Amino acid sequence: MSEDLQPRGPGPAMNLDNLRLITHVVYGLHAFALLTAIFGAATILASFIGTLPSIAAVILNYYKRASARGTWLESHFRWQIRTFWFALLWFVVGWALIFTVIGFFIGLGVLIVAGLWVLYRVARGWWTLGQGETMPMPPPVV
């Protein structure tokens, strides 16, 4: 067996170069969604979680996640998936606060900070992938 191939559950093994390319594509789709927001009328957070490129990226993450299991790219898949879902969570929290009227400015602050956080996560993840390094992964919950 070649060093590039890792055994995976029931599916066929996938070449690490292909997985790395898929990981770049996912970061690229997320970055495209963010750039659309920056240069368009949408907010960063709404564009990240609600546009076709980001939705396609998270679907691709879930579809190929099993192939990345056990490789150094697994941390990037987890990073990308967690970025999407936490962005969605903060989007809902921010808008819920905005609609309470009392929390309007807090909600706006949550949306702004979460948007900047998403920009950071995509940039850091893509940069780290380019360096051939893993993303930090939290320890497993016991």
Average pLDDT over residues 115-127: 96
Between 1 and 89, the more confident residue is: 89
Mean pLDDT of all residues belonging to the chain: 86
Number of C-alpha atoms within 13 angstroms, CB side, residue 79? Answer: 27
For 57-93, the pLDDT digits (tens) are: 999 999 999 999 999 999 999 999 999 999 999 999 9
Predicted confidence at residue 73, as pLDDT, reads 95
Contact 39, 111 (CB under 8 A): no
Using the predicted structure, report yes or no on whether residue 101 has a pLDDT greater than 90: no
Using the predicted structure, report yes or no on whether residue 111 has a pLDDT greater than 80: yes
Using the predicted structure, report yes or no on whether residue 25 has a pLDDT greater than 80: yes
Number of C-alpha atoms within 13 angstroms, CB side, residue 63? Answer: 10
Query: What's the pLDDT band for 1 if we cut at 50, 70, 90?
Result: very low
Predicted confidence at residue 86, as pLDDT, reads 95
Predicted confidence at residue 55, as pLDDT, reads 94
* d(C-alpha 109, C-alpha 100), whole Å: 14
